[in-house]
Chain A
């Protein structure tokens, strides 16, 4: 999942049972309300994150040793999938192909700037590492978003400028239309999605054209489906659902109480 989106989702998930179903009527409102609640409830933390990561750190802090990055990227999915996947690693000019693939999947390690533009105090957190393996439809339609955002970051644009550039690219149809059936594996226990969640839970992500979260029953009490606010039309016209799964990519079980 997007690195910043997780902050909201994980907190939401923890609080899900206690939420009053009548409190919000739509998931859009729910998500906005959640963010508001989180910021209000924990002003120190949000302020800390903003203080800690106000702008991009030196590029070196986002880079990794190449082989370690390849291994981390592959850890996003079971070996049966990732061993034949294409692997991309972050270089000084952007993501580059480290290993050619055979099965259409693409594995890489997301950085913090793949979080939401709107509610992401960790947008520049240099410690975040989000291993992710995209299936072929997602590799064709979501990876280009990652590549473009990264290109803009490395060109020195600010968060606001990147958001505006993405919006322009979408309007000019410079990004591919979302293909049906796009999913991604995020089952690495070695990842670090943000300061709060750490490696969080193994999960799958599902990409659909912009839609109301309730069409999947996402985010309501007891539902295993969560809405990731990573894109959500701001500006990328993609709705992203998350479903936690029971095991990490190495086959070890995830904490069952949190599923």
Chain B
């Protein structure tokens, strides 16, 4: 692509993809992309690179190996300083000696091998979850009731949550803090609404503000309340799973009502250690449905399948659609 043949520079195209171009220039770029297959291909390449970079995660170094390496480096530095004092020209001689370079390379290889071995060993140790069991109840409670009310309401725009019922977590379970007028119910969910096999299931830092529409308040919220009651009663995961299955068998728990959906547009929430407050989104609940029927998780599809209930005891399929703004009206990053 060159400026002679195209209206946009490569750098501008990258800025456009990052949403950094002024609106008028972005509009021109959009129009040009519409007409230029070459630029569209380039844009697709750039997007692919960005996505790969975003997906690339650098594994943090092991604490143990870091200290070992640091100790070894310190020791070598001390020796080097000593050698400099005793023989200032020794360093130059050493640096030109290819045998020394080969030796250094061998040391590096051994160190890398050692690190990989230890990493592999430690990975097994890492598989033990960071949150193996329930923390003390105090860590899940929010001491300031008003703060929990505000956080719950932040799940949806004020025009919805202002008139919603609000429930807060107490020592006996969720309790109604504010009666609602519009059928919506807002709560701050805790980590135990995650899948039962989630490593975050007992993460006491999780705070997930959600505002359920009336249909979801009647058919999805009872699941949150039931799980919470069982957690606070000290039940094991296996007991909870059995009880939920029995609840559906006995019709104590019901399938999602048609049109059940939920707002999760809070930027104050903390969904888990991996995603923080994630992006603002809406969720839609159905009886078990193949995700392909919504085109979920396919390339460029805005719909994703939420694994919250997938494979769990609750017979529910949950789709997620990100939206452009947080509940306070500020623009959200594109997922």
With A215-B215, A245-B302, A252-B30 in contact, is A222–B327 under 8 Å at CB? yes
Contact B156 A217 (CB under 8 A): yes
With A181-B286, A204-B321 in contact, is A247–B300 under 8 Å at CB? yes
Complex CA distance for A42 and B259, rounded to whole angstroms: 35
Excluding A78-B299, A221-B158, 16 further A-B contacts by CB distance (< 8 Å) are A80-B301, A103-B292, A181-B286, A189-B30, A189-B34, A208-B258, A209-B259, A216-B259, A217-B156, A220-B159, A245-B321, A246-B335, A247-B300, A247-B334, A251-B47, A253-B19
Asked if A89 is an interface residue, CB under 8 A from chain B, the answer is no
Contact A135 B294 (CB under 8 A): yes
Q: Which residues of chain B have C-beta atoms less than 8 A from A189's C-beta? A: 30, 34
User: 9 closest Cβ contacts across the A-B interface?
Assistant: A259-B324, A222-B157, A78-B300, A220-B159, A80-B298, A224-B323, A245-B302, A217-B160, A81-B295
Complex CA distance for A250 and B322, rounded to whole angstroms: 17
Asked if B60 is an interface residue, CB under 8 A from chain A, the answer is no
Contact A220 B40 (CB under 8 A): no
Asked if A158 is an interface residue, CB under 8 A from chain B, the answer is no
Chain B positions near chain A (C-beta within 8 angstroms): 16-17, 19, 23, 26-27, 30, 33-34, 40, 43-44, 47, 156-160, 182-184, 213-215, 258-259, 261, 263, 265, 280, 282, 284, 286-287, 289, 292-295, 298-303, 321-325, 327, 329, 331, 334-335
Nearest chain A residue, comparing its CB with the CB of B295? A81
Complex CA distance for A77 and B301, rounded to whole angstroms: 8
Choose among B258, B282, B295 the residue that contacts A224 (Cβ–Cβ < 8 A): B282
Q: Which residues of chain B have C-beta atoms less than 8 A from A249's C-beta? A: 300
| Nearest-Cβ distance from residue A212 to partner chain B, whole angstroms | 9
Asked if A44 is an interface residue, CB under 8 A from chain B, the answer is no
Complex CA distance for A185 and B265, rounded to whole angstroms: 22
Complex CA distance for A221 and B27, rounded to whole angstroms: 26
Complex CA distance for A180 and B323, rounded to whole angstroms: 22
With A215-B259, A253-B17, A255-B23 in contact, is A224–B300 under 8 Å at CB? no
Asked if A14 is an interface residue, CB under 8 A from chain B, the answer is no
Asked if A234 is an interface residue, CB under 8 A from chain B, the answer is no
Asked if A65 is an interface residue, CB under 8 A from chain B, the answer is no
Contact B47 A77 (CB under 8 A): no
Q: Which residues of chain A have C-beta atoms less than 8 A from B334's C-beta? A: 246-247, 253, 256
Nearest chain B residue, comparing its CB with the CB of A208? B259
Q: Which residues of chain B have C-beta atoms less than 8 A from A256's C-beta? A: 19, 324, 331, 334
Complex CA distance for A204 and B116, rounded to whole angstroms: 47
With A220-B157, A220-B160, A222-B329 in contact, is A257–B293 under 8 Å at CB? no
Nearest chain A residue, comparing its CB with the CB of B297? A80
Interface residues of A in 187-232 (CB under 8 A from B): 187, 189-190, 202, 204, 206, 208-209, 211, 214-217, 220-225
| Nearest-Cβ distance from residue B27 to partner chain A, whole angstroms | 8
Nearest chain A residue, comparing its CB with the CB of B214? A215
Contact A81 B323 (CB under 8 A): no
Complex CA distance for A209 and B26, rounded to whole angstroms: 39
Q: Which residues of chain B have C-beta atoms less than 8 A from A17's C-beta? A: 329
Contact A221 B159 (CB under 8 A): yes
Complex CA distance for A250 and B321, rounded to whole angstroms: 18
Asked if A136 is an interface residue, CB under 8 A from chain B, the answer is yes
What would be 9 A-B contacts, judged by CB atoms less than 8 Å apart?
A79-B300, A81-B295, A180-B287, A189-B34, A217-B159, A223-B160, A245-B322, A246-B334, A246-B335
Nearest chain A residue, comparing its CB with the CB of B43? A252
Asked if A105 is an interface residue, CB under 8 A from chain B, the answer is yes
Complex CA distance for A83 and B261, rounded to whole angstroms: 29
Q: Which residues of chain A have C-beta atoms less than 8 A from B26's C-beta? A: 255
Q: Which residues of chain A have C-beta atoms less than 8 A from B27's C-beta? A: 255
Choose among B44, B47, B258, B282 the residue that contacts A209 (Cβ–Cβ < 8 A): B258
| Nearest-Cβ distance from residue A102 to partner chain B, whole angstroms | 11
Q: Which residues of chain A have C-beta atoms less than 8 A from B294's C-beta? A: 135, 181, 183
